[in-house]
Structure 1
C-alpha cells in the first residue's frame, strides 16, 4: 500500500463516510488538506468568507441530514466560522469543521506565528460538542471515528478537528474502515406502554413537532392520524404532517395556540426543546402549564430541560413514533381535523396586524412557487412566516431568526440547501441589512449555478430595530445604513434582476424566476 499524507488520507476517509461536498477557502494552513481533493469525488465549494462556509454547511446539513463539512485555516479562518458553528449548536445541526493549526512545537509558546491564537482548541471547545487535535498521523482514523460518533449520537451540533501543519504532511500507512455508527439509546417497553396508556385515555390530544422530527414525517403523520390529533409545528418543524389535514403551522407563542395547548388533555412533544424563541417569543411568560406530556427526543439532556414530562422517550424519533403507532389502537371520533382547522383559523387571526400583510404575501409566494424551499434571515417576511406559514413539506422553511439569531445567515444557507437538494429551488428571504453581512456570497451562487432567488426586502435600514427603539423611547441611531444599488450589485455578479414595489409585482417576479437559475428580486418598501 502506497503511503498517503494526512491531508490525502483525510479526503479518502471522508469519502468513505459519505461526504460529498466540502465548503472552504484554501490557505497555507490548509493547502495540504487539498492535496487529495482534486482526485476525489468530493465537490469543493468556495465561499467568499469563512462565515459563509459555515452557513452553507448548515443549510446543506438541514436539507440532507448529513453533516455539513468545512475546511478553514487556523486563527482568523476558524474564528470567522465561529458564528455559523454557534448557530448550528443552537439549532442542533450536524457540522464538521476541520481547521489547520500551527506546528506542534509552537503551540502555546506565543512565538508570533502566522494566524496564531493562544489556545485555539480551548476557544472552540467552549461551545463545540467536541474538539480534538490530531497529534500524530496514525491516529487520524480514530479521531474521525470519534468526531462522527458525536455527530451521529445525542443532540447534533458542531464538531471540530484541528490538524497541525507538521502533522498534515506525515505519512499515513494504514486506513481502517470507518467505525459503525453508535446506536441511539433504546427506550424500554415499560416507558412505551406508559405513553400508550396516556394516549388511550386522551380525548383532546395535541402533537408538538420541532426540528428534531423533520426526518420522521411518515411516522409522525401515521401516529397523528391514528390519534386524530392536531400537529402544531415550530419554526424548524414546519411542513410536518402537511398531507394529513392535521397540521397547524403556527407559533406556540400565539395566544390561540397556547389556549389550545392548555385545553388539551395530552401533549406529545417530538424533537423540540421548548426554547424561548419558539414558545415565548414575546417574553411575556405566558406559555401554559401543560397537561399530561410525552416527550420524544434523541438527547437525554434535552429531555431533562423545559417542562417535566409524564413520560420521556429517548431515541430516534421515527423509530419511537412507529413503535407507539404499532402499540396504539385508535378509537377515533373524527374530530381531529375539525379541531386542527379551527385552530389554524384562530392562529392566523391572532397574527399581529403589523405582520398580517406579510403572512398573506408569503402564502401567495408559496402558491406560485409550490416546489420551493424558503431559507431565511432575520427580516420582516421571516418574522411573519415564523408566526404562521404553511410549508409544503418538512425542511422547506428554516431560518436564523430563532435561537442564536445570526444575521447574514440566509444567503449562504440558501446556497448550501440548493447544493444539498438541487432538484428543489430555493427562495432566500433576506433584508437589505442582512444581505450586506454576506453580500459577496452572491458570487458563490453564480459559480455553483444553483437555483436560488434572493428575495431582498429593502426597507433601507434596520427597520425592525428602529421600530423597537422608537417604541422604547430611544432615539434611533445607527439603524439606517445606506444599502447598495441592488441592480448594480446583481449586474456585477451576473444575476438576473427585478425591482418591484408591490406585493402583486413581487409574486409575479418570483413566479417567473423560480427554478431558472440565480436571480435577485428587490422588493422595495422603504
Structure 2
C-alpha cells in the first residue's frame, strides 16, 4: 500500500523539488517512508529555525521554493521565525508539518505537541495555511501552493497533515507526470504603452529596483541605458546593474545624496520594491519623499498602493513587464545626463559615510575583487550594515541578509548553507557577528556533513555591538549586551572546519583566498575592539 507520506514525496518530485530540509521526529516518521528511495535529498539541521533559514537561502539562489518538513508543536513554532523572514522578503517556502490526529486537535487533553490552534499561529507568516482533513485534498492544496510561488507574490505556504492521515492509503490518488504550472504575465499592454509614453517624455527619469526585480536584471540594464536613467538598487536588488556600470547606484536611498536624486527626478519607475522604511527610511527620520510622477511595477496589487501610491500602477511580472517596456522604447535615446547624475550621487554618498563604514566598505570591496564569483549572505552585524549602505555587487542575488525587514538574528550561517546547497559550484561567504552567530552555531555540523564551499567571516567584538552603541547614544547604561564568547577557532575546528584568526585587510584577503582553494568549509575570525570605547 502506498501511504500518503510516500505519495507526498512522489508528488513533490513531480514539481521539481530536489531538496528538503528537516529534522525527523516521531510525528513525521511517515513523511520519511518514501524519501530515502526518492530523487529528493534530505538536509538535516540542528534546529528548526535553522532549517527554515536554510530553505530561505536555498530559495533565493535556486529560484525554487525551499521545502521544510517539521514536527507538530515545537517543530512548527521554531520554524515560524524563519517563515516570518521569508514572508517579509517575499521568499517562496513550503512548510509541511504534522499535527495531532483528527479529533485530537486542540482538545486540551495534553497530547504530545498539542497546541490550541497550530494553524492559526502559522497563518500569520504565510500566504495560506491548510490543515488536511482527507488524503484526497493533498494534490489540490499542493497545486495551490505552487500557484502562489509561480503566479503571485512568493511567500511561505504551510500545510499540516494529521498523524493518522500520514499513513492513510494513497494508491488511488493521481500522480501527474508534470503538473500544470503558471506563467507570469506582463502588465496590460495599454498601461505599458502609457508608461512608455511618460518615460519617453521624462527629462530626469529614475529607476528604483527592489528584490522583486532580480529576475529582470538584463532588461533593467537595457531599459536604464535606453532612458539614460540612474538605477537605485535596494539591499535585495544589489547587482541588478553590475558594479562599475555608470548608471548603477548601489547605495541606500536613506542617505541624503540618493534622496536628493529621487526628489529631483520627474518620472520614477519603481520595479518590484515595497518603497518600505527599512530601505528608504532606515534612520526613521521621515525624510523620504517622492514628488515626481511614480510608475510602479509589482506582482502584488496591494503593494502598488502601499507607502507611496503609484500614479500609474502596472500589475504584472517585473521581468515580463520590463522586457515589454524595452521593446516599446527600443528607438528612444535619453537626455545623456544620467551618468553625471549617478556620479554626483556616488560622490555625495562617499562624503557622508562615517570612517568605520568607509573602512568596512573598502574591505568588503577588496574581498569581492579577490573572489568575484562569491555570494555574500549576512546576519545582522557591522560588516553587513556597512555593505547595506553601499556594497556594489557584481550580479543579482550575490548580496542578501536578514538585517532589515523582519530582521531575524541567527540567519547568516544557515542561510549561507542553503545558498551553497543551491549552487555548490560557487563559493559562499557568510558575514556574521559573534552575537548572532551563537544563535545557530550548531549548524557548523550541517556544513561539514555536506562538504560545502562555505567561508564564514566572523567579526568578534564580544558583544551585541550595535545595541551597545544605541544604548550609549540614548544615555542608557549598557546592560545585557556584553557577551562571553567561546574560542571560535577551536570550536570550528572541533566540528571539522578549517579555522584561523586574521587581522588587517591584507591578512583577511589572503585568508579568504586560501579558504576558497579548500574543499571544505572555513572560518576566519576577525577580532574587533569593543565598540564605544
Q: TM exceeds 0.5?
A: yes
Note the C-alpha offset of 1:375.
0.2
CA distance in 2, matches of 1:515, 1:317: 38
CA distance in 2, matches of 1:333, 1:267: 15
Secondary structure of 1:104 counterpart: coil
Note the C-alpha offset of 1:183.
4.5
Q: Which residue of 1 aligns with 2:253?
A: 252
Note the C-alpha offset of 1:515.
5.1
Q: Which residue of 2 aligns with 1:417?
A: 419
**Aligned alpha-carbon RMSD (Å):** 1.3
CA distance in 2, matches of 1:347, 1:45: 42
Q: Which residue of 2 aligns with 1:174?
A: 173
- Is the CA contact (8 Å cut-off) linking 2:186 and 2:324 kept in structure 1? no
Secondary structure of 2:376 counterpart: strand
Note the C-alpha offset of 1:153.
2.5
Secondary structure of 1:284 counterpart: coil
Query: Per-residue CA shift, 1:489-514, capped at 9, x if unaligned?
Result: 11110100110222221122112212
CA distance in 2, matches of 1:275, 1:378: 18
The answer as to 2:321 corresponding to 1:323 is no
Q: Which residue of 2 aligns with 1:437?
A: 439
Q: Which residue of 2 aligns with 1:358?
A: 360
Q: Pick which of 266-275 and 182-191 moved more.
A: 182-191
Alignment equivalent of 1:508, drawn from 500, 507, 510: 510
Secondary structure of 1:354 counterpart: helix
- Is the CA contact (8 Å cut-off) linking 2:261 and 2:341 kept in structure 1? no
Secondary structure of 1:475 counterpart: coil
Secondary structure of 2:207 counterpart: strand
Q: Which residue of 1 aligns with 2:501?
A: 499
Alignment equivalent of 1:342, drawn from 341, 344, 356: 344
Structure 1: give runs of 5+ residues left out of the alignment.
none
- Is the CA contact (8 Å cut-off) linking 2:296 and 2:314 kept in structure 1? yes
The answer as to 2:97 corresponding to 1:75 is no
Note the C-alpha offset of 1:296.
0.6
- Is the CA contact (8 Å cut-off) linking 1:262 and 1:289 kept in structure 2? yes
Q: Which residue of 1 aligns with 2:280?
A: 279
CA distance in 1, matches of 2:315, 2:276: 19
Q: Which residue of 2 aligns with 1:223?
A: 223
- Is the CA contact (8 Å cut-off) linking 1:451 and 1:515 kept in structure 2? no
CA distance in 2, matches of 1:387, 1:176: 49
Query: Per-residue CA shift, 1:254-285, capped at 9, x if unaligned?
Result: 11000011111111110100111100010000
Query: Per-residue CA shift, 1:109-165, capped at 9, x if unaligned?
Result: 112111111110111112311100121112221121112112223211111000011
Note the C-alpha offset of 1:102.
1.1
- The 1:515/1:223 distance shift into structure 2, 3 A limit, reads farther
- Is the CA contact (8 Å cut-off) linking 1:432 and 1:460 kept in structure 2? yes
CA distance in 2, matches of 1:512, 1:334: 44
The answer as to 2:53 corresponding to 1:55 is yes
Note the C-alpha offset of 1:225.
1.3
Q: Which residue of 2 aligns with 1:213?
A: 213
Note the C-alpha offset of 1:185.
5.8
CA distance in 2, matches of 1:222, 1:246: 11
Note the C-alpha offset of 1:186.
5.0
Q: Which residue of 1 aligns with 2:150?
A: 152
Q: Which residue of 2 aligns with 1:481?
A: 483
Alignment equivalent of 1:446, drawn from 439, 448, 458: 448
- Is the CA contact (8 Å cut-off) linking 2:9 and 2:38 kept in structure 1? yes
Normalized against structure 1, the TM-score is what? 0.97
Secondary structure of 1:300 counterpart: coil
Note the C-alpha offset of 1:181.
2.5
CA distance in 2, matches of 1:401, 1:458: 17
- Is the CA contact (8 Å cut-off) linking 1:154 and 1:300 kept in structure 2? no
CA distance in 1, matches of 2:145, 2:474: 46
Alignment equivalent of 2:381, drawn from 379, 382, 389: 379
CA distance in 2, matches of 1:352, 1:155: 37
Secondary structure of 1:440 counterpart: helix
1:49-198 equivalences under 5 Å are 49-172=47-170, 173-177=172-176, 179-184=179-184, 186-198=186-198
- Is the CA contact (8 Å cut-off) linking 1:101 and 1:162 kept in structure 2? yes
- Is the CA contact (8 Å cut-off) linking 1:138 and 1:174 kept in structure 2? yes
Q: Which residue of 2 aligns with 1:242?
A: 242
Query: Per-residue CA shift, 1:325-380, capped at 9, x if unaligned?
Result: 11113133433233323322322322233311111111111111111110000000
Q: Which residue of 2 aligns with 1:405?
A: 407
- Is the CA contact (8 Å cut-off) linking 2:377 and 2:430 kept in structure 1? yes
The count of aligned residue pairs is 524
Q: Pick which of 232-241 and 308-317 moved more.
A: 308-317
CA distance in 2, matches of 1:142, 1:475: 56
